[in-house]
Structure 1
Amino acid sequence: MADGNEAAQIVKDLAAKIQNEPKAPKFSFDVSTYKGVTMHLIEADVPQGEDELQKMFGPKLRVHVGTGAKSVFVAVGKDSEALMQKLIDSGASDQGGVRPVGQFRIKLLPILQYAQSIETNEVIAAMIDTLSRASDGGDVMVVQKSIVNGQESRMLISEGVLQAVGSAVRQVQQQKMQNNGSF
């Protein structure tokens, strides 16, 4: 988004629309400023009985939104404020240049390890085993850039992800054979 103030206004408009809802999240705007980025906080109670979400986020889901003149940062989780500051610091060290409209990159291995820590699963274990031996850790990257009269999106899936999916399929097939004696 070219205008961080516009992004903040969108969130403020949303907050105004849902403010009378009984389970609406709490919005706090203009909480602080860090290196020219205005910090906003959205907090929502994590429902009782949602053990996995409670382990992941604690009793409250915290979303920090940082808006600058030409930037928007979003960080979610228990340490979202510290993460937000790291994002801002890393952006400040960037030397500029042509930027895509949007991009994200995730590593599948830590996500699977976390899921396995909550509830063990043989399929996930097989994927973790495969990704632990892969050199890339299971990278998935999406990059979007502007083109004349449109937008171009590119998705990159590393070899480790493909190998992990293959391991998952083999594990499911083995489980079916053990349970049914056939596919």
Structure 2
Amino acid sequence: MMALLRSRRTMFILAAVVIVGLVVSGGIGLVQSMSTVAQTEQDPGQGQGGQGGGEGGPDPLEAPEAGVLGQAPSGLEYSSEDDDVECTPAECIRLVSVMTTDEDADVSSDEAVEAVYDGLLEQNWGQLLPEGAEEPDDVPLSETIMTDGEVMVADATEHDSEGAVAVLMVGNANPPAN
């Protein structure tokens, strides 16, 4: 048996089998990746049957409306237009501005985000903590992600800039489509 493995002919045959196997597996991977790209380029209403959100959940290619946040806290209002939706091939998010209703009120972007998050907590939304945090008290409220199981809300505000308007990213909690 060892003599057979030492022969040049056997080594050439084994090398050929390995090369053919690599070429075939590479071709299969290429075909699968091309079919994945073709599926993500379909219209949003198509192809939901066996994919990510097919169980009656929200379509990952439709951003949730600002209304999922509920009633704005006292003295604040939500603003989001159709052009505030940003999409990738797999999912869409909506940017929602949180502004004061009174021009004379001096509410910082941090305070606005915390007021919205407090309101979401009162509506029984949960908090997803950043990596390394064990308790909600370990991090500022605005550094957590809020979720009700179907929608996720994260702070996207540039708090360091002067006169910053609070901005929240609202997206579906279901995993993105492949």
Alignment TM-score, normalising by the size of structure 2: 0.23
Name whichever structure is richer in strand by fraction: 1
Alignment TM-score, normalising by the size of structure 1: 0.23
Q: Which structure carries more relative contact order (alpha carbon 8 Å, separation 6+)?
A: 2
Name whichever structure is richer in helix by fraction: 1
